Amino acid sequence: MLTESQGVAVDGTTQPELHALVRATLGRLRLEPPDRVRLTCGPDIEARIDGRRRELHVGIQAVPCLSVPELAAVIASRLHLLARPDARKAVRRAEEWFDVGSEAFDEPADSDSRIRRRWAQLAPVGRELIEPADLAAVAACGSVEVAARALATANEVSLKYIEYQWEVIDAARPLGLLAGTSVIVDFDDGWPRWIGPGSDNWLSDDAEEQAMLHPGLAYAMRLIGDGPIEVRVAPDSLRLAPLSERDRRKLARESAQATGKIRWVTFAESPAQWWQQRAAREVSARYGSEFRKRPPTPADRLRLAEECAAARAAAAPGEWDDRAMVDGFAPLLEDGLLPHGWRLEHPAVRGVLVGPDGARIDREMIVKALAEPGLGTLREWWEPART
């Protein structure tokens, strides 16, 4: 969760489109405005209490993943809590509702566990707080279906961003600790690139969980079923205004949870060693303990590539995900090429590399290379690294 002091101000000057959307939503719902609206560094849209101030926090990473009506729906559900006379208590109880509900969902409905008993005790919260907030989301966007998909997508964005934070934003920490703290100042440029064309990890169980957590939208959530609920850049998302240098650095620092002396770098300026270290760590984690004490040899990489290719060839139609395959294989490819003059076209996009001579490898080429008998193309890519 974000600390109370994070974020930068949203007003008609700094973020005119977001400010206008919040004002329009307040007018549509006839709600009192919060004391402050803050643009924050992460993926969450939250109702927060800072001292005596009621604050709406809008995560900069959530905005591109929601259409304007979806963004209005999520914002409305948070504004409804902040407009209550007992806003402090309402926000605290709503947080408990979602935390306990997520845990309770994973246990049998007839379980007599502590968490299921606590969930039963929170039933009035669902009726008195969450259901009216769900209906506020419907009123803001004009559609039960849009409101349900908006809240479901916002939840998936929060979950997916954890992976991005670990894989991209935190990758600089091991090296950065040696000479102050290195922070990627254009941190928000990587997230839209990382999610790419979209990913759909939504299952029918997720629909059931969200139906339990959103009683005012339970029927619509269940209708979503297996989805898809994709984390992607929405084509009709709201446009955020460019950040000032001061605001950008504040959000970048908060994104990296950095303190003390800062070394500011962009993705383009980031040292290749960061991403080499990342690839090596991931190879070690993915392929077992044998590579924790020594790096993989060219023969090791080819053996692992052959195993990946064999698994793909043996899979039944429709049971193999080439995108997931490339995500898993990319660290091995990068570990073999980055120490030998290759670089990532963008550090947030795995498996897209440019060689010292300008040769380029992309994700589609990796799929084709792994489908080749004898893996001839892969051998050619890795051959220069042997010398």
38 forms bridges with which residues in the sheet? Answer: 9, 57
**pLDDT confidence of residue 26:** 98
The strand pair at 53-59 and 36-40 is best described as: parallel
Mean residue pLDDT of the chain comes to 91
Lowest mean pLDDT among 31-40, 101-110, 246-255: 101-110
H helices of 288-359, in order, are 298-314, 322-337
Residue written as token pair 């934003």: 169
DSSP reduced 3-state for 26: helix
| The two three-digit tokens of residue 79, written as one number | 């504004």
**pLDDT confidence of residue 323:** 86
Element counts in the chain: helices (H) and strands (E): 17, 9
How confident is residue 171, by pLDDT bands cut at 50, 70 and 90?
A: confident
The DSSP letter of residue 268 is T
Higher pLDDT, 40 or 225: 40
Q: What is the mean pLDDT of residues 281-304?
A: 85
Percent of the chain with pLDDT over 90: 73
Instruction: Quick: pLDDT tens for 307-363.
Output: 999 998 888 877 888 888 898 999 999 999 999 999 999 999 999 999 999 999 999
**pLDDT confidence of residue 150:** 98
| The two three-digit tokens of residue 4, written as one number | 């109370």
Please answer whether residues 361 and 382 qualify as being in contact, where contact means their C-beta atoms are separated by less than 8 angstroms: no
**pLDDT confidence of residue 386:** 45
**pLDDT confidence of residue 174:** 54
**pLDDT confidence of residue 180:** 56
**pLDDT confidence of residue 259:** 82
pLDDT beyond 90 at 176: no
Higher pLDDT, 178 or 30: 30
H helices of 245-297, in order, are 245-256, 272-287
Q: List the one residue out of 370, 361, 313 whose CA is nearest residue 337.
A: 361
| The two three-digit tokens of residue 71, written as one number | 């963004």
| Global pTM value | 0.91
Q: Which residues contact 140 (CB under 8 A, 6 or more apart)?
A: 25, 28, 29, 69, 72, 73, 75, 76, 147
Q: What is the mean pLDDT of residues 131-159?
A: 97
Angle at which helices 87-105 and 114-121 pack, to 10 degrees? 140
How confident is residue 289, by pLDDT bands cut at 50, 70 and 90?
A: confident
With vertex at residue 22, the alpha carbon angle to CA 18 and CA 26, rounded to the nearest 5 degrees, is 170
Q: How far is CA 246 from CA 7, 8, 9, 186, 322, in A?
A: 12, 10, 12, 12, 41
Please answer whether residues 100 and 122 qualify as being in contact, where contact means their C-beta atoms are separated by less than 8 angstroms: yes
The DSSP letter of residue 356 is T
Residue written as token pair 């997520």: 102
Stated as kind and residue range, the H or E segment containing 183 is strand 181-184
**pLDDT confidence of residue 298:** 86
Instruction: Quick: pLDDT tens for 353-382.
Output: 999 999 999 999 999 999 999 999 999 998
Instruction: Quick: pLDDT tens for 75-132.
Output: 999 999 999 999 999 999 999 999 999 999 998 877 889 999 999 999 999 999 999 9
pLDDT beyond 90 at 31: yes
